[in-house]
Amino acid sequence: MRTLGTLAALAVAVLAQSASGGFEWRGTPTVDLVLVVVVYVALTGGPAAGLVAGTLGGLVQDALSTGILGMGGLAKTVVGFLAGRFGTQFIVTATVPRMVTFAAATAAHAVLFMGAYALLGLRSFPDPVTAVAIQAAGNGLAGVVCFKLSEWLPRALERRRATRGMRVSR
């Protein structure tokens, strides 16, 4: 069941990212939803889950983009594994550590992705620090919202079921 949830979350993230045009602010992407899902899966499922989610999400995102197939997949695979490993070694349950983890994962992804393109001489990035900082803040916020929703939603559904059961029994 967890695998189906991960696949559904990745599919929704890829579709939302593709449909929105990348959530840009002044030409700079502000949120990478696929990366947010990969890091979320890695923190909740461990390094192996992060690795698989990163590979699948990155390759699908690469296939839909105009870049080289595999660059984003490789970067997301490494980041997913490292985020999962980090999540198993440290307690990442409060809001601030989660936000910092998403921001650090975004920076690591940018270093790997931009570094690979620059190393091969295929693309240049004019102002990478600003772009990465904006995206790290956006991904951090989106990741914290995902965690809050995933914690709140089951409790809200349970409360709704409980109140519905109380109305029926009266």
What tens digit of pLDDT does each residue of 27-65 get? 677 899 999 999 999 999 999 999 999 999 999 999 998
Q: Which of 56, 20, 55, 51 is nearest to 142 (CA)?
A: 20
Segments of 16-145 assigned E as strands: 24-25, 28-29
Pair of tokens at residue 112: 């790997």
Least confident of 18-27, 94-103, 129-138, 139-148: 18-27
Find out whether 105 and 40 touch, Cβ atoms under 8 Å. Answer: no
Three-class SS state of 68 = coil
Buried b / exposed e across 52-68, counting CB within 10 Å, b at 16+?
A: bbbbbbbbbbbeeeeee
98: CB partners within 8 A, 6+ apart: 43, 92, 140, 143, 144, 147
- Residue type at 3 in one-letter notation: T
Provide φ and ψ at 68, rounded to 5°.
-80, 130
Find out whether 39 and 50 touch, Cβ atoms under 8 Å. Answer: yes
pLDDT one-digit tens code per residue, 66-111:
778 999 999 999 999 999 999 999 988 899 999 999 999 999 999 9
Q: State pTM to two decimals.
A: 0.89
